[in-house]
Amino acid sequence: MTAILVGFLATVIAGLLGLHPPESGSPRPPSGERAQVARVALAVLTIVVSFCVQLAVLLHAARMQLPFPAWFASLPLIAIDDRAPLFGHSPAGPAAGICAIVETIGCAALYFAARRKGLGRASWILVACASAVMLAAAIATPAVTSFDMYAYVGSAHVSDPYRPPSAAFTGDFALINRIYGTPILPSPYGPVWLALARLATAPFGTLAAQLLALRVTGALALVACALALRRLDVRDADIALVALNPALIGFFVLDGHNDLAGVALVLWAIALQPRSNLAAAALAILAGGIKAPFLAIATQAFARAATLRTRLIGGVVVAAGGLAISALFGGSAYLSAIRTTSYLYRAEFFDHTDNALHFALACGALAAIALALLARRYWPAAAWSFLASAASTFGWYTVWGLPYAALERRWLGVFLVSLPLLSFLLATVYAMTQFGAVMRVVAVVGAPLVTYAVLRRRHDVATVPASAV
């Protein structure tokens, strides 16, 4: 993890070279321009096939865990989870890594095929159909890389998720107690997410159906993000990369993590702010009630406001509103739950090097938000620092940088293309192999160098005197 954090920090620091004011006008190409359908089709096919192979690898790895407890066979979704030391990490890492590389190549090909000319009607149909296939495959796959969805269901079934009672669940829900014990762990999530989880699962009477409902909720959040980016008038290529992104579908549909719901609220707050400060503030405050880090992330809802006064007042209102919801419906029990669960994952609490790198990255994220609100200036590589906004650096936290990348805009495509590879590099469920070690070395060394080279070249071009041209 130390090497990965070094790579992230070096990449973010390299991005300082590219600080820039907000772009004016729309990046969308003139109507009538279309990307070549054949190129888009090839890129889309590459992404879909590699993602489906990845799901097959995951399912095989989940079923082949050694030792494999008999009761795992009763789980609707079999998890590979590194929290339980009894279960060995899956040896399928090289296969998963190859899938991640191919997915990244496919995403890059799609980006270059569409970034200048946009997507025509036929290409959009291809993207929509491929996205539907990937979403359906993720929803139907009976395996996950995390038990978190079981925790969401458990929290939705108790009266006080921050102080869960000692009574065990009955029926197939008793499997949740096999995973988390009795009582289950206190929920580290905000009251808005707990309400949303109850709303999503309440109509269904079985554990399998409620897990499926959470996956569908993740799919709806992905669609909401794509629509918000459309409203923000970003490039067609960027919208397509959200709809087809294997990492986003893997983390938030297959594994059902709740972060994308908060991101969707923030993106829609940003999109609506020019028309209604009240609507933007309301959505951003709700995002702050999803998870604690969104108290800061959601303040970006007002980063596009024309006046400093609006940006500052909006940011303060969003942060204060999120805190008020958290205090009113969670209070000290919510804080205690965050502290309790964070120590389950943070062996790095006692690693001073990791702590220093983690802190530096978190400061980078906060500095990026402050620059956006105070000066409307954006830091191209800062989107990758947002995953350090929590006590741990899980792969799905990379999506916290999506609202900032959408505001910064110039590197949004690069950020989205990087996610499939980052999802593998940050995975902890696969046994480390020489192949994985080489991938990490190449990534942590190559990313900052490429970032520096690209931004250095742009800087040199931008500063060439007119008389020299």
Per-residue model confidence as pLDDT tens digits over 281-326: 999 999 999 999 999 999 999 999 999 999 999 999 999 999 999 9
Whether residue 30 is predicted with pLDDT greater than 90 in this model: the reply is: no
Q: Inter-axis angle of helices 277-288 and 259-272, to 10 degrees? A: 170
Confidence band, pLDDT 50/70/90 cuts, at residue 83: low
- Mean of pLDDT values over 48-75: 89
Instruction: Name the domain count of the chain.
Output: 1
Average of per-residue pLDDT values in the chain: 89
Please give the Cα distance from 349 to 359 (Å, whole number).
11
Domain that holds residue 109: 36-456
Whether residue 124 is predicted with pLDDT greater than 90 in this model: the reply is: yes
For residue 444, what pLDDT is reported? 83
Confidence band, pLDDT 50/70/90 cuts, at residue 239: very high
Residue 45 lies in a domain: yes
- Please indicate whether residue 373 or residue 353 has the higher confidence score (pLDDT): 373
Task: Name residue 253's amino acid.
Answer: V
The percent of residues in the chain predicted with pLDDT above 70, rounded, is 92
- The residue among 119, 124, 104 whose CA lies nearest residue 414 is 104
- Of 173-187, 269-283, 330-344, 407-421, which range is least confident? 330-344
- Mean of pLDDT values over 34-63: 90
- The residue among 83, 92, 85, 87 whose CA lies nearest residue 150 is 83
The answer to whether residues 127 and 43 touch, using CB atoms and an 8 Å cutoff, is no
- Of 20-29, 325-334, 378-387, 411-420, which range is least confident? 20-29
Please give the Cα distance from 142 to 215 (Å, whole number).
12
Residue 28 lies in a domain: no
Provide CB contacts within 8 A for 83, sequence distance 6+.
147, 344, 345
Confidence band, pLDDT 50/70/90 cuts, at residue 86: very low
Residue 18 lies in a domain: no
Residue 16 lies in a domain: no
- Mean of pLDDT values over 418-428: 90
Residue with tokens 């916290």: 400
CA dihedral 260, 264, 267, 272 (to 10 degrees): -170
Residue 444, CB-side half-sphere exposure with 13 Å CA sphere: 17
Residue 7 lies in a domain: no
Whether residue 333 is predicted with pLDDT greater than 60 in this model: the reply is: yes
The answer to whether residues 422 and 396 touch, using CB atoms and an 8 Å cutoff, is no
Residue 22 lies in a domain: no
For residue 294, what pLDDT is reported? 96
Tally of CB atoms within 10 A around 38: 10
Under DSSP, the state recorded for 188 is -
Q: Inter-axis angle of helices 191-201 and 148-156, to 10 degrees? A: 90
Whether residue 466 is predicted with pLDDT greater than 50 in this model: the reply is: no
Please give the Cα distance from 168 to 175 (Å, whole number).
10
Whether residue 401 is predicted with pLDDT greater than 80 in this model: the reply is: yes
Residue 420 lies in a domain: yes
Please give the Cα distance from 420 to 396 (Å, whole number).
11
Residue 347 lies in a domain: yes
